[in-house]
Structure 1
Amino acid sequence: MSNGNQSDFIRIENIVKKFGTVTAVQSISLNIHQGEVFCLLGGSGSGKSTLLRMLAGFDQPTEGRIILDGEEIAGRPPEKLPVNMMFQSYALFPHMSVEKNVAYGLRRDGVAKAEVKQRVDEILDMVKLTPFAKRRPHQLSGGQRQRVALARCIVKRPKVLMLDEPLGALDKKLREETQQELLKIQRELGLTFIVVTHDQEEAMTMADRIGIMDMGKLVQVGPPRELYENPNSLFIADFVGSLNKFDGTVVGQDDGRTVVRLSEDLVLKIETPFEHNKGEDVMLTTRPEKLEIFPETSSAQPSTQNVVTGRVSFVGYMGEQTNYSVDLGHGIEVRVAEQNHHMSTKISIAAGDTVRVAWPARASHLFAA
């Protein structure tokens, strides 16, 4: 039972980590809720793995405090912490069977033999490995080895399970299946998961909340939808998902919308909560899937605020969606991603065709240029 409320199950207070003259983590403060899946997302060198290692006790902070369930844990060795960490390499013992790999930590902790068997049997059943209990790691698939590593971690019933790039070694289909299994187990056991990944799709799929890191700093924290739909900076907008970016200049207001000129004959309207001054240089962004494309000959009339005309320079059929690039002139190109819900007149759109591209004013964001 937590000593605090849900919001401060894990409190990270002004954590700094320096390696010599290099500051890998810069004064991060963060609360992680009990029972949530929290993802640390960032590129190589962003500091996400260093932060995770401090939470797991493998590295000690240079400054700041880490409080878990009301107890300060900074300075305590990993084996004394109520957490467990699962690495991408899995680190299974090759000479041990699946059940012995899973039981290893319990036996090392001196848990009674009967209880070890009971807990191992329960976990193997949960991760669907009971038929493979006597096999050794080399006799398993990558996904099965991943589940053995997971079982070995959760059989000890940690308060927090930390996963460092846990699915990076799996192919796309197996990764998606394993994500679902992980989340099912997490919900059944009520565990708190902290996941480190560089894969934005993985973070968006798994996380209740995501913390995006860059250059040792935590630049935005929020649910996946919030980060995607309302990024607080151009860096976040560009990092999470695909993005169209256009240089523009604010030319005024129209019915509460900001009017931005991209070129002499290309003017767009944007709904934005922020005031922008006339003459201000901005970066206008919009997601490819927010746009809709129409053949020039289509009788359908776009009802959105922004409708532009251009020539198709690329068509890429991807199965579930089709990607288009449309040249709007003046060196401006826009990408459109449309789901292939049903066959339509759009199947005839080909490179070289003249088309209209439309999107609503609310589907764009403005950032300082």
Structure 2
Amino acid sequence: MQEQLKELNQVAVNAIASTDNLDELDKLRVKYLGKKGELSQILRGMGKLAAQERPAVGSQANVVKEEVQQNLEQRKQALQQAKIAAQIEAETLDVTMPGVNRPLGRVHPLNGVVDRVLDIFVGLGYTVATGPQIETDYYNFEALNTPKDHPARDMQDTFYLPGGNLLRTHTSSVQIRYMENNEPPIRIIAPGRVYRRDTVDATHSAVFNQVEILAIDQGLKFTDLKGTIKEFLQRMFGDELPVQFRTSYFPFTEPSAEVDVQWKGKWLEVMGCGMVDPNVLKAVGYDPEIYTGFAAGFGVERFAMVLHQIDDIRRLYNSDLRFLNQF
């Protein structure tokens, strides 16, 4: 048995020294020192030895075990250090090599306008709300006081999909969805893409971006709406910007108004607004005898064209780098 232990020790030490893999090293540990390992199998035969032989064999077995464990630990440390050294070598950066030049992108003028608008209204206490671009007729029209036979639907003809759904014509549908799940007071801003069956020209597009705001609370008046709009427009275009409100019509607000700004000596229509119609409040379960509200909306493209003096809305969609590099 002592010869077996001696042979085991030699074989184990040689195998440990020759391995160059941590996983293989762990397998060797189990093979020689595990509960079912070769050392344990040899020691199971000690019961057959004479009583006077057992102490010597036990002592030798402990020496073999300690030597194998020591070799395993030393080899493990050596392999770990070699692995770290190889990783450092592979990840070494030669700072003398020229870098790869990747030109940084810029914020698109439309995204820049949206970011600027959101910053203003979030600063005024509004929460950003979003909703689906594929809408039902109810959320896009009926809940907004525009039933199927309402002539105002002609103002917002859109793209209809199989099953009765459609591509939303405004982000007002987001307002309905938000009000259904939240109680007043409410102050939200809803940016997003909308779709209308418009003929594409220098100032119109069938797909464009819109931002709408909604405020619902007790005691809100048209003067609150005017003050909010003026504050917003002056932050967007400058403190001395003249602003005027013209009477208009929208099915979901009453009274309604168009908002104009005086830009380079001319009055330019930039957005629509009004007090939320009582029928809209009733559609979401609000009592119009208790709550009032106001809403406003505008096309992001129109603001971008004014701010950046862009002469054709189609330039915003063509991905022409000669145009985009200006921003």
Shorter-chain TM band: under 0.3
Larger radius of gyration: 2
Relative to its length, the structure with more helix (as a share) is 2
TM-score, length-scaled by structure 2: 0.21
